[in-house]
Amino acid sequence: MANAQVPSGVGPRYWAVPVGRAMIAVIPAVIITFNRDHSAQLGLIVFGAFALASGLLLVLVGPRTLTVATDRSLFLIHGVVSMIAGALALGFHTGGHGFFLFIVSVWGAVTGFLEIYAGIRLRTRPLPAKDWLFTGISGAVLALFLLLLPPNPVVSVGLFGAYLVFLVVFLPIAGLSLKGDSPRQRPRATATADPAPANTATNDSDSL
């Protein structure tokens, strides 16, 4: 029992979720990074498209790849919150810098908390827990910086762009690491289960 593999809480196809989130973040990250216009309107449009698409991914794909009911609920809420925030940002893309700060900081705080909580719950299951903690903390830090830094659209939109770049770099590594680790869990479980019959046979022969 001591050598039993601790369940990860994710299915074998979960690796596609972080990779998909990274792919969604690529285009908005490029737009912000290479665009001189860091206006609040651009920030709201880019954030809205990103949040809506990533939320849709989590709602449609996320729950199917998670094996624990609580994790499915957390990421379903994550996806719904992202879709609502994205729709509001697109619908009110002329709302100005104050609205950009409000919608992005609230989104970052809520979704960051959900991922941090999911990661803490799974701290004994190492495969997804650290990844969720890192992405959750990055969202929470984004929200905190948006509230503490000077209210400048260039700084605020640029900070959101830096957050997207982090996702583009980190999430594919996390997803592909999960994909690489998944096949190796089964041989370990089989190996730990094999010695039991041999020990039983040895004990039976000794008793004779």
What would the pLDDT profile of 118-128 be if each residue is shown by its tens digit? Answer: 888 866 666 67
- Give the C-alpha separation, 35 to 17, whole Å: 28
Any domain includes 122: yes
Any domain includes 25: yes
Q: pLDDT band at 176, cuts 50/70/90?
A: confident
Any domain includes 11: no
Any domain includes 2: no
Q: Domain of 85?
A: 16-183
| Nearest one of 136, 109, 108 to 121, comparing CA atoms | 136
- Give the C-alpha separation, 154 to 41, whole Å: 11
What would the pLDDT profile of 86-119 be if each residue is shown by its tens digit? Answer: 999 999 999 999 999 999 999 999 999 999 998 8
User: Are the CB atoms for 168 and 26 separated by under 8 Å?
Assistant: yes
Q: What is the pLDDT of residue 124?
A: 63
Report the amino acid identity of residue 131. D
Q: What is the pLDDT of residue 190?
A: 40
Tally of domains in the chain: 1
Q: pLDDT band at 181, cuts 50/70/90?
A: low
Any domain includes 199: no
| Residue 134 clears pLDDT 50, i.e. is over it | yes
Any domain includes 66: yes
Any domain includes 10: no
| Nearest one of 56, 29, 32 to 42, comparing CA atoms | 32
Any domain includes 101: yes
